[in-house]
Amino acid sequence: MMRVAKWLFSVWCLWACVATALADEDMPYIRTQEVSADAKVVRLFFMFSCPHCHSADKALLDWGNTLPASLIYARTPVVVKDDSSVLGAIAYYTALTTSPKNINSYCEIVFRLIHQQGFTADKKETYFFAAKTAKLNMTEFYRHWADEQVMSMFAHAALLSSSYQIQLTPTLVVGGRYAISPETVSGNMGSFIQLANAVVSKRLQE
């Protein structure tokens, strides 16, 4: 355990040096409208209908687990005027409210149903079937579907989607200030993780 901790510390020190050495114009990120409440949050903006979100979700979740303890990694569904976006966001927050510990399994199943098994992202039945497959408490899932708590989280996600002007998915927004997307590194996930590390280190130094 100590060796792992030392290794992680060394990695973050390395990226701190990289972030210091790089000037803003050398970094492929977007400076967003700042959201001060997100200063300690790294948000992954995603849509269940997005094939790139599907392929990147596991790698980014694993990466999120390596972040310093001072930061929170938070999936955030993009909310736009589209049935698949709206239903996907409601489904995500319904599952999160019903069973936080099973949210990763739920997301994995939804992605698989849509991108590998021919289910559609704009049908409520897809998300109900995913909940049943993930063995969520279906009575609770039905009860929480679009309830007041879920719609409050939905509204917050819609506000963030608008505030950050999310144009691409997946997008990482770091510390309420910097937005990056795999598209900036031609979709190469290894390069994107390196970029994310550098941007996180830069934000921590500010």
pLDDT at 14: 42
Q: Given this model, what pLDDT does residue 150 score?
A: 98
Distance CA 60, CA 6 (A): 22
According to the model, what pLDDT value does residue 27 have?
A: 65
> Measuring CA to CA, which residue among 187, 189, 185 is closest to residue 27?
185
pLDDT for position 167:
93
Q: Give 35's DSSP letter.
A: -
CA-CA distance, 145 to 149, in Å (whole number)?
9
Give the C-alpha separation, 188 to 206, whole Å: 27
> For 48, how many CA atoms within 13 A lie in the half-sphere containing its CB?
32
For residue 28, the model assigns a pLDDT of 83
For the chain, what percentages of helix, strand and coil (3-state, to nearest 5) are there?
Answer: 60, 10, 30
pLDDT tens for the chain, 206 residues long, are 333 333 333 444 444 444 443 444 566 899 999 999 999 999 999 999 999 999 999 999 999 999 999 999 999 999 999 999 999 999 999 999 999 999 999 999 999 999 999 999 999 999 999 999 999 999 999 999 999 999 999 999 999 999 999 999 999 999 999 999 999 899 899 999 999 999 999 999 99
Rounded to a whole number of angstroms, the CA Rg of the chain reads 17
pTM: 0.86
